[in-house]
Chain A
Amino acid sequence: MTKEEGKVQVEVPVPLLGTVSGIRTLADIVARKAQTHPSADEPAVVSTPRE
Chain B
Amino acid sequence: MVCATRTIGLWAAALTVPLLLASAAFAEDPSTDLRYSTALKAATPAELTGGGQTFRGEQGTLSLGSDSVAIGVRKVGANLFFGVDADGDGEMDRREWHGLGKDFLAAAEVKRGGRKYALKFTVLRAVAGDAGKIASVTYRANAGFAYAGRLGGTAVQIVDDNLDGKITQDGKDALVVGTARTAVPLRSVHRIGSAVYRLTVEGDGSKLTAAPLDEPLAIVKVPFRSKMMQGLVIENATGAFELTEDGDAGIPAGEYKLVYGLLGGSSQQLVLKPTKLSTAWTVKAGHENTIRVGPPLAVFFDAQLVGSDIKVSPMMEVIGSGGELYDMNFNTGRPAILLLQGAKTLVKAAMGYG
Enumerate chain A interface residues (CB-CB to B < 8 A): 1, 3, 5-17, 20-24, 26, 29-30, 35, 37-40, 42-50
Contacts and interface: CB of A to CB of B under 8 A. Distances in A.
Interface range on chain B (Cβ under 8 Å from partner): 35 or more
A6 B321 contact: no
A14 B332 contact: yes
A35 B280 CA distance: 19
A14 B282 CA distance: 30
A31 B64 CA distance: 49
A16 B341 contact: no
B353 to A, nearest CB: 16
A9 B298 CA distance: 10
Given A12-B299, A47-B284, A37 B326 contact: no
Contacts of B280: 44
Specify the main secondary structure of chain B where it touches its partner: strand
Contacts of A43: 292
Contact of A10 (B263, B283, B326, B335): B335
Given A9-B340, A35-B300, A46 B290 contact: yes
Nearest to B263: A16
A4 B310 CA distance: 15
A21 B337 CA distance: 10
Contacts of A38: 296, 298
Interface string B276-298: 01011111101111111001111
A47 B280 CA distance: 14
Nearest to B267: A15
A8 B335 contact: no
Given A10-B336, A12-B332, A47 B319 contact: no
**Which of B281, B330, B335, B342 has the most CB atoms of chain A within a 10 A radius of its CB?**
B335
Given A22-B299, A45-B292, A37 B277 contact: yes
B292 A10 contact: no
